[in-house]
Amino acid sequence: MKKKSFFNTLVFKLIVGLVAGILVGSIASAEAIVVIDAIKSILSNLISYIVPMIILGFITPAIVSLKDNAGKILSTTLIICYVSSVGAALFSLVTGRIIIPNLDIASNVGTGKAIPESVFALSFSPIMPVMTALVTAVLIGLAVIWTKSKVWEELLVDFNAMVLKIVDKVVINILPVYIGTTFAELSYEGVIIKELPVFLKIILIVIVGHFIWLSLLYTIGGLISKTNPKEVFKHYLPAYLTALGTMSSAATLSVALKSAGKSKTLDPEIRDFVIPICSNTHLCGSVLTETFFVMTVSQILYGKMPEISSMILFCFLLGIFAIAAPGVPGGTVVASLGLITSVLGFNDAGTALMLSIFALQDSFGTACNVTGDGAIALMVTGIFKKVPGRNGN
């Protein structure tokens, strides 16, 4: 079999899309950026439309294949997701209390150029919201197990194959273009050039925090499964880069499944069940980021960080909101705005600045979320002793 050239790989196409987007956005006129925005909107709608199909096409057949273990594996996965998110928040809380008082951070955030209003819009909605698809997939999967329906079991296998083809033929091919249009808009608005220096210190700190937390998750996953975690995370570069461009765990789901599928240590049935679940319930990177940023914004606007008791409550509640948050750009911070205002007492200026700074780095938090899902799948694989080649499996 002929080896695939690097220039034909998804990683290379994603890098080209990212770089081209930044270059085009830096020189684009208002008329050109309107066209780019229209293309991005159409591609975004298309990906959003396909995401519920991916969830139904992967989670439901995976639940059916797990049979009697489905309930246990689902509850175990959700518990691990919550513990990971809360742990990331508490880790961020401790490091933030130590680091933030020693940072000299500017308080004024410049505003970039606005994207002109598009004269063309093609809007189409998904067949159902992401969380509705998630609940539907779980209930249908459990119902097939309870009724022992062979017809539905075979139907779901065929549906899984159909969705895989949609992912390969549609999603994978449009992702580089979608990422290019996303970064073209960021470059046009001046976000990359104008706002990045303002928050460079804290963004770099948060990114380092992401990798520390990912290292911990994969170490734990390796210990539980008694395998080398490198066999999982070494395949995640395409998913990480895709998440950088899409800023959406849901939009990156297809690539994450493709990356995890290359691992020899993940059980295929558990992998195809856990990865889609985690794309909407495991947002450790976003939670870590938001926790650090709320302390930073509070220090900037109010001259002090929130009380430690309020922050601890915020961390534990944020873990719940993260499980319910949609895996879309800014999903975590939008879902938790009520916590920011009620628990931490932020005013309109605080929430606005929070949204702004979170959006600036959202891609890195999403990339951490997606990459961490592989570690969760490794943990679940080890817990249920379904590591390929181990214990006779």
pLDDT band per the 50, 70, 90 thresholds, residue 19? confident
Is the pLDDT reported for residue 187 higher than 70? yes
The predicted model scores a pTM of 0.67
Longest Cα–Cα distance of the chain, Å, equals 64
pLDDT band per the 50, 70, 90 thresholds, residue 49? confident
Task: Tell me the fold of 7-384.
Answer: Proton glutamate symport protein (1.10.3860)
The pLDDT value given to residue 372: 93
Pair 38, 117: CB distance under 8 Å: no
Structural domain boundaries in the chain: 7-384
CA 390 to chain centre: 30
More confident residue, 114 or 315: 315
pLDDT band per the 50, 70, 90 thresholds, residue 377? very high
Q: Which of 335, 72, 95 is nearest to 204 (CA)?
A: 95
Alpha helix segments (H runs only) across the chain: 10-27, 30-66, 70-99, 130-147, 150-166, 172-189, 196-225, 230-233, 237-246, 249-260, 268-281, 284-302, 308-324, 331-335, 337-342, 348-383
Pair 273, 137: CB distance under 8 Å: no
The rounded distance, in Å, linking the Cα atoms of 24 and 37 is 12
State pLDDT tens for residues 280-336: 788 899 899 999 988 988 887 777 888 999 999 999 988 877 775 555 555 567 667
State pLDDT tens for residues 200-252: 788 889 999 999 999 999 999 999 989 999 999 899 988 898 888 777 777 78
Average pLDDT over residues 363-367: 87
Structure tokens at 321: 């909101």
Q: Give the number of residues written for the chain.
A: 393
Q: What is the 3-state secondary structure (H, E, C) of 69-129?
A: HHHHHHHHHHHHHHHHHHHHHHHHHHHHHHHHHHCCCCCCCCCCCCCCCCCCCCCCCCCCC
The rounded distance, in Å, linking the Cα atoms of 69 and 50 is 28
State pLDDT tens for residues 268-277: 888 888 888 8
Pair 366, 170: CB distance under 8 Å: no
State residue 2 phi and psi, 5-degree precision.
Answer: -70, 130
DSSP class of residue 261? T
pLDDT band per the 50, 70, 90 thresholds, residue 39? confident
Q: Quick one: angle between helices 348-383 and 196-225, nearest 10? A: 20
Pair 253, 275: CB distance under 8 Å: yes
